[in-house]
Amino acid sequence: MRVEFPSRRKAGDSSFEYAFQRREKEERETAALPLILPDQFALLSKQGQATPEHARSCVYHLKNDLQIKPLSQRGSDSEAGHVGGRVLHWLWGQDMNVRDELSLDRIFVERLSYFLVAEGREEFLWKWLLHELATTKRRVNKPGRHLWVPGIMNAQREFFDSVVPPLRTLHRALEDFSGRRLWPMTFAAAVAGQIMITSNNVPPYDPALFTVVLRANEAGKKGPVLRYTQAAAMLFHPTQPNARFFLNETSEYLKLGINTARDAAQNAFAAHVLRAAYIFRLQNNAKDAAWLEAIVKTRFPVVWAAREKKRLTELETDPKLEVLRRQYTGQAPPTFDPWS
């Protein structure tokens, strides 16, 4: 199998750099907002004087402060334990322009979602989304609520330290937000789900939830991009990791996609290639493993240089690969000599 590698893109020729800079700017601007404590927001809300800036500041600074003093240490009477419900209730009472503005504020959505999950109030948010998307305006305009579902999913992943609750939320999103008009809702949720499952430290879980991610990917992608996304996911199957699908898509993806991807995406691709090679090594398939390793060595020297200290360590401790490690019959460790 032979591949002609396209030349690497030049720095600065992608819009992803702009997106990254925009996110950094949003973070700085939110961090610079005057501090609003939960009890202050509660009072302002009761007086009808709370503003979007107050809401942003409240959830942003409180989430940061949790690293110093968790909610469990603040007492049941503390406003900090009710800030999610308080801010959501305030949001419900705002006009459509404010709800649109804050629903497209990534930082606000992520922080508020965390508090709603921590308080067990995500069901209220879900019902609000269904109501919002059923209004007359939402039938003629693009739905601007697509950040909320991944916001809930990411909050559940952080709060419960498990992919099971967020993948169940993804399944619910596919059921409740179906249809061409609402595809941004499921697309954003699918991206969040894909990121969660393609992790080296996620333990085995119900394969039925894994298929939910594959189904969600099909709702927003097609062609080579879909095939590559699904193949990458199969490397992280919770009970039966499979590298064959990824091997079949590698050549096509190299030709069509990776030459225009940002550095982070290229490094992620290279890490997937090494994972596929490791799986083949565990299956005593040295030929395909060596071909994949050559791609990383030739094309992604930074990732190749870190293969033993970082990548190999991550692979050797991935609990999803334990079933293959137990079946391995070759020399141990399987990738030490080939990657030296």
What does 267-279 look like in DSSP terms, one character per residue? HHHHHHHHHHHHH
More confident: 141 or 31:
31
Torsions phi, psi for 149 (to 5 deg): -65, -50
Within its chain, how far is the Cα of 271 from the centroid?
Answer: 17
> Which of 193-197, 255-259, 293-297 is the most confident on average?
193-197
Neighbours of 287 (CB within 10 A): 9
Say if CB 302 and CB 248 are below 8 A apart.
Answer: no
Please compute the mean of the pLDDT values over residues 224-244 and round it to a whole number: 95
Torsions phi, psi for 25 (to 5 deg): -65, -45
Radius of gyration of the chain (CA): 23
Please compute the mean of the pLDDT values over residues 109-119 and round it to a whole number: 96
Say if CB 167 and CB 150 are below 8 A apart.
Answer: no
pLDDT (0 to 100) of residue 5: 35
Say if CB 316 and CB 281 are below 8 A apart.
Answer: no
Nearest to 186 by CA among 197, 195, 175: 175
Separation in Å, CA 86 to CA 30, 55, 89, 128? 20, 10, 5, 14
Span 147-165, pLDDT tens digits: 999 999 999 999 999 999 9
CA-based end-to-end distance of the chain: 23
Q: Read off the pLDDT band of 55 (50, 70, 90).
A: very high
Dihedral angle of Cα 178, 181, 187, 193, to the nearest 10 degrees: -30
pLDDT (0 to 100) of residue 13: 44
Separation in Å, CA 266 to CA 225, 230, 271, 310? 14, 17, 9, 17
* 263: CB partners within 8 A, 6+ apart: none
3-state SS class at 26: helix
Mean pLDDT lowest among 95-104, 226-235, 249-258: 249-258
Token pair 């469990």: residue: 72
3-state SS class at 311: helix
pLDDT at 12 over 70: no
Please compute the mean of the pLDDT values over residues 188-197 and round it to a whole number: 96
- Give the Cα separation of 195 and 169 in Å (integer): 15
pLDDT (0 to 100) of residue 219: 86
Say if CB 84 and CB 41 are below 8 A apart.
Answer: no
Domain ranges for the chain, please list them: 23-120, 148-219, 221-340
Please compute the mean of the pLDDT values over residues 56-62 and round it to a whole number: 96
Token pair 């993948």: residue: 167
pLDDT at 39 over 60: yes
Please compute the mean of the pLDDT values over residues 268-273 and round it to a whole number: 92
Q: Read off the pLDDT band of 19 (50, 70, 90).
A: low
Q: What is the DSSP string of 64-108?
A: HHTTTS-GGGS-TT-GGGGHHHHHHHHHHTS-HHHHHHHHT-HHH
